[in-house]
Structure 1
Amino acid sequence: MLVIQLMCVSLLCGHVISSASGRHSLWALASYISGSTMFPEFTVVLMLDDIQVAYFDSEVDGIRRTAATEVEVDLLQDKVFVLRDMWKSMRKRMNLAKLHLNLTTGVHVLQRLAGCEVMDGQPVLIMNNAVNGQDVDGVMFNMTHFALFRRPNWVIHWDDMEWAFIQTLYSNIYLPACAQTLKILLNREKRLVMRRVRPHVHFLMKQVVGGAQLTCLATDFYPRHINLTLLRNGRAIDEEQLTGGAVLPNGNGLYQVRKTLTVSVEELKLKHNYTCVASHLSLDNRLQVSWRAEFSRSHKIPIISVPASVALTAGLLVVLLWWRRRRSKGIAMETQEQQVEPEL
């Protein structure tokens, strides 16, 4: 259960704005664990858009660079105080949540997505908290507006003095520190953030009982935003008929996405023309790959009824037993002939 909750941090990446939208962002994906585990009590992954740039945990108490980036760690060390403050804040919030939600024994996880993005030339600070995978509260702040979101009857309430202190803290420390770090990282990591890698698009066909599965695969592209559409005879296929569609990391800093359509034997006989269309920032025009159903024996998938399959299996067993019995008799006769001594 703990591993699943820790993996939920990666799902928060869906909020991260990539360079495909023309906006850039810096995020801290933090986890605080209450209870005995093999993991550090507090961990943070720093992300520039969708690129992991640094890592911090409570055991090392320092920022480490990830393999995906060339940023100098010294540039980030003066911001360690923000992460330490986040550590203390999440410890306090977890203790309050345990009391409010009656969380006693066992392992419990508080997750936080905190960071800033530049929208219309202005930095905006965003923070969301979740306890054991359920959202509890969040904050959105720019230089002119401060909004607080929280679940009904949530334990944390601020009086006027605390509210004024929080707004001062966010406007004078957190937001400027995040915006400055974002600017530095964008300058240093421009090569990674602004790169454009063309997708490779393929059509895959797999025979299944009752027809075939057609899969449109786009892989090894960056940035992660892509539009993938399947056409039948030039007309877009309804998304409800397709499976897949989630953009996933490839492990090499690039991404992949696939969509699958199940086609019946009857539809294969009609020999429709299927087209996979990809639209991406790296492409001047749409990339298209087509596949046409050629109904032949290779597409015909025999379907054997249950009684027929049982009879066929029984017949094969009878033949196998008969063959083994005959073979054993032949071996026995050869042995007897070898034991007979010739008469003198």
Structure 2
Amino acid sequence: MGVGLAPVALLLCAVCAPALGDKHSLFYIYTSLSKNVDLPGIYDFTAMGLLDDSEIDYYNSKDQMKIPRQDWMREKMQEDYWEKGTQSRKSKEQWFRVNVDILMQRMRHNQTDLHVLQWRHGCEVDDKNGKMKYLSGIDEYSYDGSEFLSFDDENMRWVAPVPAAEPTKRKWDNVTILNQYTKGYLERECVDWLTKFMEYGQESLRNHSPPDVYVFAKKSQTSSDKLTLTCLATGFYPKDLKMRLRRFTTSLPDHLLTSSGVRPNGDGTYQLRKSVDIQKEDTAGYDCYVTHSTLQEPVTKEWDGSCKDCRMGIIVSFVGGFFLVVIVVVVVLVLRHKGMICWRSDGETNGDINGPVSYNQVSMECDEMNSASGVEG
């Protein structure tokens, strides 16, 4: 079964989508392959934590250690946090190995093809004056790049979009305490961890959070008689930033602009880029206007009308943790093109691997599948 370019683009856009307002998110993503793939940097099992799309911790089946991806995580979290997290992810790794095989049998897929099981879970909050308000939670599994099972937080039940997921839905819905615990984690415990991580991260970013703003032009890729004028703001934190491309102080309409969306940099800061195509001879009066919470007054950068900075090295599209997320998505889809993929998404919780309820107690398919979502922050 092949995968076209459209699904790849949609997935990448989903990862790149900007967060609006003062929203923040904490998600954990686990990915397991049904067999070893001889590709550099691709492992049978990986797990990562993402705070506002920036990678904060990482684990793979080769090194088998949960490690920090941000300096502030390394400095703030105690050693036992990483020890417990490592044990939890080792447990999940074993669970995934078992369940990839079981789902392959259920789907009647052969052992020669490659399959991927992925699990994502976490929460999104609204930050108002430092007080986090729960907005939504996600606990979902995907198989071969398609949705397999998800948790309906409002109604506290599992949703099976495909017939093959029905046995799991029925089994898990019959375990009331599991659904209660899942809802409690998404709405409370996840929010608590997100709040703590945000406090740690903000403290480390205080000295380098204002945006650096650049405006430059290059030849348009769509028309030889046009230039693409771009405004780039990078290195800012928090991620809420407003940018306008203007001519003679009048903002250009949004339908004429192309936006990258807010993207994470590798150091925990963010970047945003907006572009517009203009006529080559139309070089007067353009500027970039940026407002951000760290600025006492807006930044205005005027374009000098030249194209000398078309290839400036400051333009970074994907770096740090975001780069790794995109790599995982692309590789998984490429591998799916060669074989098949099994994808399940759920999340981590606090730092204790023995929570009040463990998915180890609940099978995904009758008594054959034992879930391993231990409690982890």
**Equivalent residue, structure 2, for 1:56:** 59
Question: What are the residue-to-residue correspondences of 1:254-269 with 2, within 5 Å?
Answer: 254-265=269-280, 268=282
Q: How far, CA to CA, are the matches of 1:218 and 1:237 in structure 2?
A: 17
Question: What are the residue-to-residue correspondences of 1:235-254 with 2, within 5 Å?
Answer: 235-254=250-269
Q: Give CA deviations for 1:2-26 in whole Å, capped at 9, x if unaligned.
A: 9x99999987755896xx8545443
Q: TM-score, normalised by structure 1?
A: 0.65
User: Secondary structure of the residue that 1:36 maps to in structure 2?
Assistant: coil
Q: Give CA deviations for 1:31-86 in whole Å, capped at 9, x if unaligned.
A: 11111224432211123334433222334444222253323342343355653454
1:200 CA drift (Å): 1.6
Q: Give CA deviations for 1:96-153 in whole Å, capped at 9, x if unaligned.
A: 4434544332322222221234566459642122233333332253xx7525344243
Q: TM-score, normalised by structure 2?
A: 0.60
Could you list the runs of 5+ residues in structure 1 that have no partner in the other structure? 299-344
Question: What are the residue-to-residue correspondences of 1:1-344 with 2, within 5 Å?
Answer: 21-38=21-38, 39-69=42-72, 70=75, 71-80=77-86, 82-84=88-90, 86-104=92-110, 105-118=112-125, 121-122=133-134, 125-141=137-153, 145-157=155-167, 158-159=169-170, 162-170=174-182, 178-179=190-191, 181-182=193-194, 184-186=196-198, 188-192=200-204, 197-207=209-219, 209-265=224-280, 268=282, 272-291=284-303
Q: Is the 8 A contact 1:26 1:117 kept in 2?
A: yes
Q: Is the 8 A contact 1:114 1:128 kept in 2?
A: yes
**Equivalent residue, structure 1, for 2:325:** none
Q: How far, CA to CA, are the matches of 2:265 and 2:151 in structure 1?
A: 32
Could you list the runs of 5+ residues in structure 2 that have no partner in the other structure? 127-131, 309-377
User: Secondary structure of the residue that 1:74 maps to in structure 2?
Assistant: helix
Q: Which entry has the higher C-alpha Rg, 1 or 2?
A: 1
Call closer, same or farther: CA 1:242–1:24 in 2, change over 3 Å: closer
Q: How far, CA to CA, are the matches of 1:123 and 1:288 in structure 2?
A: 34
Q: How far, CA to CA, are the matches of 1:213 and 1:21 in structure 2?
A: 28
Q: Percent identity?
A: 20
Higher relative contact order (CA 8 A, sep 6+): 2
- Equivalent pairs counted in the alignment come to 287
Q: Is the 8 A contact 1:12 1:113 kept in 2?
A: no
Q: How far, CA to CA, are the matches of 2:256 and 2:143 in structure 1?
A: 35
RMSD, aligned α-carbons? 4.1
